Structure 1
Amino acid sequence: MMKRLSKFSALLVFPMALAAAQPASAAVQASDVVNGAVDGFIRPAYASLQQHATSTAKAVKALCEAPSQQAIDAARTEFAGMVTAWSTIEIVRFGPVTENNRLERMLYWPDRKGLGLKQVQAALADKDASAADATGVSGKSIAMQGLGALEFVLHGQDAETLAGKDGAYRCAYGLAIAGNIETIATEVSAAWAKPDGFAAQWASPGPDNPLYRDGSEAVTELMGAFINGLELVRDQRLKSFFGASPDEDKPKQAIYWRSGLTGAALAANLDGMNRLFQASNLGDALPKDERWIADSIEIQLVNGVAAAKQASGPATEMLADPKRRAALEHFQLITSSLSNLFGTRLSGAFGLTAGFSSLDGD
């Protein structure tokens, strides 16, 4: 077993032709699954992220050049679109995004001890000139150069100063972050688009391939995106702020709580899974008597997106509203059901068993 598989939950082997139990003409090749995932979802999603990052950088630049509340609102709107675009593709936590710490530089979270927040606040207080351009900020702490830092600039304490001259440095820092995010998004999108790049390696497993020796290893990578993605969403994102009872809720531990984008991000996470699942056509690899698994997965993913959208708004208001809190409870149940469908049912149908997680530090 190759070293990189130790990162993922699904560890056993299934054949190059995934639907081996069916007639050969109905079998789905691993390369078909991978190519479907890449062309049908991953490349378009990263291209969308790049476009949103560019639009956000332009909006922040316009804010710096002509400060006003209207310009702040415009920058915040573009930021929300970029968060949604990132949340849609962030379940793909392998490939080019893992190089040069891009994944962590895009989003430093969770920041349980507030160390990243302190670094951002210190840069703003000291008016650190080296953090006020995209090149300079890219060499700073990962906590100072991604979505979390830009959220604080646009939505955190004293963000209202962006509407006037007193916010000049804050805006310059925000523009540097936005430019850095745009650079990262551009690099990752370009890397996936290369005809002889990572996508080609993933889709062409073989004994001479340094990453994927056979079809089972290639598709195991894809399965890991779903299994570990669900754990990320439920156990790291949702449980970080959603308690077993209202008394145990921690609204300020929610991702994107300052911008009120917590629910939107969770919805986009599951929407990305749904789009990836459909693009890869994994359901077609199942024997006919087990196609219900794919149908159930798609239904639950759609329901999960709807539940997260119902729980939209600022985290404090969301948790205080019985209807929105109930929607989060429903979302939690759905993600648990999906973990069973992917980690037990689908994996079992492909001859896999679920092992340890890539997110627990093992």
Structure 2
Amino acid sequence: MTRILILMVSFLAISAAGPASPARASDTDDTFRAITKASVYDHIIPRYEHLATAGTGLETAATAYCQDRTAQNFTTLDTAFRNYWIAWAGIRHIQFGPVQFLNRGFRIQFWPDTRNKIGRQLSRVLAAEDSAALEHATFAKTSIAVQGLPALERLLADGDAGYAAPKGSFKCALTTTIASNLAIAAKGIVDNWNPTDGYAHAVAMAGTGEGPYSETYEVTVELLQSLLGELEASRDVRLGRPLGSELDKARPKLAEAWRSGLSRDILVASLKGTEDLYLSGGFDQALRDAGENTLADQITAGFQQAVTQSRALEGSLYDAFTAPEKREALQAIRADLKVLAGLIGTDLAVALDISPGFNSRDGD
């Protein structure tokens, strides 16, 4: 629903554009196909392949640690966990296609968790110590709150010492199960995107009467929604909610991955991921081909500024949310993201004649 609301606002300015001429329709179809091809082969598939590689590393590290619980093996596991989350942050903006199959996106990361569902469900699993519940087929059907990264983060939060308790063996088995679940999900997404008969083929068939997309523009809209939705998530959920409206209303524990201290790195990875979708995904080239070099330069500069400012944040974001001098920097990033979203959601959409109003596959 959030993504739909973004497009409602973004496309109001162009909803009266009217039908294009046959020649114009042909030109725009070619543009949409070019964006689709570049996005799939130069952005989506490579980044999911990177996630799958990270998943293999995570599963291997978890297995090795639970076979030999040493401090060194825990460090390797913790590093693998962080690598996976950063890889996910760089592609989680893609919210259509195979990531939706089997509810994979939420199983990888149930977020935001405003009601502490992860904590409650994880406590129940640990208290039960039911090894049968960790069998893959069974675990895949359990609460999504305990299947992914946030749950794994909680398990790892106490370090190697956290696995020395009486329930350390079961906790380690759960850790390995979650790591395996994350690896399987990533591999499944890659397999389902395959160009031969997978989703890459389905989007290539857009507008041909085959597959789920009846018009070529529908895939471009999916990609634009992905871009805008992630920018909004960074602005309003990653930064806005923990910041609160005032200093005394700051809630740093609403920050993403605050326990592991990954909040800033995830923010940067997310911004770099959306920047790459814009650049490698063909949107930048489409604007320049349309003679919109100034707009393209503005959007590129907007991404670069947001990334640079986010990287410049020192220390933990958990502390920054309650530090007056650092809150100003966070608010500045939010303001820049608002401008960037406007350039993309309105100016870019108008320039590329993306004016369907809604994606017909949203179901609303």
For normalisation by structure 2, the TM-score amounts to 0.87
Indicate the residue corresponding to 1:273 in structure 2: 274
The structure-2 alpha-carbon separation of the partners of 1:325 and 1:139, relative to structure 1 and needing over 3 Å to count, comes to: same
Instruction: Give the conservation status (yes or no) of the 8 Å contact 2:252–2:318.
Output: yes
Number of the residue aligned with 2:243: 242
Corresponding residue SS for 2:241: coil
Structure 2: distance between partners of 1:100 and 1:57: 20
Partner of 1:76: 78
The superposition leaves residues 148-182 of structure 1 with CA deviations (integer Å, 9 ceiling, x where unpaired) of: 111111115x8632257752211110110000010
Which of 56, 69, 73 pairs up with 1:54? 56
In the alignment, structure 1 residue 97 sits paired with structure 2 residue 92: no
Match of 2:187 in 1: 186
Shift of 1:308: 2.2
Aligned-pair distance for 1:57? 1.3
Aligned to 1:254: 255
How much has 1:76 moved relative to structure 2?
1.2
Query: In the alignment, what sits opposite 1:169?
Result: 170
Taking a change above 3 Å as real, the CA distance of residues 38 and 357 of structure 1, as seen in their structure-2 partners, is closer
Distance 2:329 2:39 in 1: 30
CA distances 1:18-50 after superposition (whole Å, capped 9, x unpaired): x959x97x9953222111111111001000001
Q: Could you say what secondary structure the match of 1:200 adopts?
A: helix
Distance 1:207 1:16, change over 3 A: farther
Q: Does residue 1:67 correspond to 2:69, yes or no?
A: yes
How far apart, in 2, do the equivalents of 1:345 and 1:98 lie? 29
Q: Deviations over 1:306-351 (max 9, x none)?
A: 2222336544323244554333222211211111111111112123
- 2 CA distance for matches of 1:100 and 1:151? 22
CA distance in 1, matches of 2:207, 2:359: 26
Within 5 Å, give how 1:158-237 maps onto structure 2. Answer: 160-162=161-163, 166-237=167-238
How much does 1:131 deviate? 3.8
Contact 2:242 2:253 (8 Å CA) reproduced: yes
Over 3 Å counting, the alpha-carbon distance change for 1:67 and 1:162 in structure 2 is: same
8 Å contact from structure 2 (residues 243, 322) kept in 1:
no
Rounded to whole Å, the distance in 2 between the matches of 1:179 and 1:327 is 38
Distance between the aligned counterparts of 1:251 and 1:159, measured in 2? Answer: 25
Aligned with residue 115 of structure 2, among 113, 116, 119 = 113
Q: Match of 1:88?
A: 90
- Cα separation, 2, equivalents of 1:95 and 1:205: 13
Preserved contact between residue 234 and residue 332 of structure 1 (Cα < 8 Å): yes
| AA partner of residue 145 (structure 1) | Q
Output the amino acid matched with 2:163: L
User: CA 1:14 to 1:43, structure 2 compared with 1: closer, same or farther past 3 Å?
Assistant: farther
CA offsets per residue over residues 191-247 of structure 1, 9 Å max, x none? 112422211121222252342122222212221111222222222222221223321
Equivalent pair of 1:68/1:163 in contact (CA under 8 Å): no
Mean Cα deviation higher: 309-318 or 222-231: 309-318
Matches within 5 A, 1:298-337: 298-311=300-313, 313-322=315-324, 324-337=326-339
Q: Which runs of 5+ in 2 are unaligned?
A: none
Q: CA RMSD in A?
A: 3.3
Per the TM alignment, residue 255 of structure 1 is displaced from its structure 2 partner at its CA by 1.0
Secondary structure at the residue paired with 2:100?
Answer: helix
User: Which consecutive residues of structure 1, in runs of 5 or more, have no partner in the other structure?
Assistant: none
**Quick one: which of 340, 356, 360 aligns to 1:338?**
340
How far, CA to CA, are the matches of 2:356 and 2:315 in structure 1? 35
| Residue of structure 2 in register with 1:154 after alignment | 156
State the secondary structure of the residue aligned to 1:57: helix
Contact 1:143/1:149, CA 8 A, preserved across alignment:
yes
- Residues 132, 169 of structure 1: 8 Å contact kept: no
| Closer, same or farther: CA 118–212 of 1 in aligned 2, 3 Å | same
- Distance in 1 (CA, whole Å) between partners of 2:176 and 2:257 is 19
Return closer, same or farther for 1:6/1:166 CA change in 2, 3 Å cut-off. closer
What is the rounded CA distance, in whole Å, between the counterparts of 2:29 and 2:106 in structure 1? 38
Q: Distance in 2 between matches of 1:312 and 1:94?
A: 34
Residue pair 2:252, 2:322 contacting (<8 A) in 1 also: no
Deviation at 1:6, TM superposition (A): 6.5
Per the alignment, residue 130 of structure 1 pairs with: 132
Q: 1:16 to 1:204 in 2, by over 3 A?
A: farther
Q: Would the aligned equivalents of 2:157 and 2:259 in 1 still touch at CA under 8 Å?
A: yes
Q: TM-score, normalised by structure 1?
A: 0.87
Q: 1:86 to 1:272 in 2, by over 3 A?
A: same
